[in-house]
Structure 1
Amino acid sequence: MTYTLSTTIALPWAEALDRTREALSAQGFGILTEFDVRSTFEAKLGAEAADAVGDYVILGACNPALASRALAAEPEIGVLLPCNVVVRRSKDAGVTTIEAIDPQTMVQFSTEPAVKEIADDAGTRLRKTLAGLSN
């Protein structure tokens, strides 16, 4: 089983990142955290490490209704939240890749039936997010 859902789009970096945030919002996800890997690598490891990773942002996306249901069903599932969404583009690439954790990954760690239902819902929403970016 693959653990990501992904798409590739031919948009400038900043526009791809903005459109990803907007597409997630349209599916009920808010951004709880935003980790700029490139900037962090540059500050902590130097320009060479930053250039090697390219433009790379990890968005910690959360749909509060789904998260609430998941935590009520199985409080330990919080270690797998929020849903990470990566927006990345290597230095010489002409496209940007957007990847999200496949919520079915959670199902592998849980025996709680409600977790499967929630993962199905989250997966549908994330697939719609990615499909909307491809259009």
Structure 2
Amino acid sequence: MKAKLGEEFRPYIMLGTCNAHFAWRALLAEDKVGALLPCNVIVTETAPGTGEVAAADPVTAMGIIANPRLTAISEDVQQLLQEVIVEL
């Protein structure tokens, strides 16, 4: 934001975390899903020396599409995201 808008903001990083394997499975289940894939994880400083990691819940994000195959894939992704965030 500083470089493009000249605005200051606390340390904030957006990580692109799309997994090609899961994205491919999702595209095979629903070809328009690319517009909805929750592929970002944010890491931000909430106070000096204290951080927070956040990600969209893939089950909720994919829930707007009534497709059981997509639901199963998003549940797999949800489990992996939870495991990664717990380890941080």
TM-score (structure 1 length as normaliser): 0.60
Q: How many angstroms apart in 1 are the aligned matches of 2:76 and 2:56? A: 13
% of aligned pairs identical?
A: 38
Cα shift at 1:65: 1.3
Cα shift at 1:73: 0.5
Where do residues 3-22 of structure 1 align in structure 2 (5 Å cutoff)? none
Q: How many angstroms apart in 1 are the aligned matches of 2:62 and 2:5? A: 36
Which structure exhibits the higher relative contact order, with contacts defined as CA atoms closer than 8 Å and separated by 6 or more residues?
Answer: 1
| Alignment-derived partner of residue 59 in structure 1 | 15
Q: How many angstroms apart in 1 are the aligned matches of 2:59 and 2:48? A: 30
| Alignment-derived partner of residue 122 in structure 1 | 77
Where do residues 1-135 of structure 1 align in structure 2 (5 Å cutoff)? 41-46=1-6, 49-50=7-8, 53-90=9-46, 92-133=47-88
Cα shift at 1:76: 0.8
> Gaps (5+ residues) in structure 1?
1-40
Structure 1, residues 46-102: CA drift from partner, whole Å, max 9, x if none? 2xx32xx21111111111111111000001110122521001114x43211010111
Q: Which structure features the higher share of helix residues?
A: 1
Aligned-pair Cα RMSD in Å: 1.4
SS of the counterpart of 1:81? Answer: coil
Q: How many angstroms apart in 2 are the aligned matches of 1:106 and 1:82? A: 7
4+ residue runs over 3 A deviation: none
User: Is the contact between residue 56 and residue 87 of structure 1 (CA under 8 Å) also seen in structure 2?
Assistant: yes
User: Is the contact between residue 12 and residue 43 of structure 2 (CA under 8 Å) also seen in structure 1?
Assistant: yes
Q: How many angstroms apart in 1 are the aligned matches of 2:44 and 2:62? A: 26
Q: How many angstroms apart in 1 are the aligned matches of 2:34 and 2:56? A: 14
> Gaps (5+ residues) in structure 2?
none
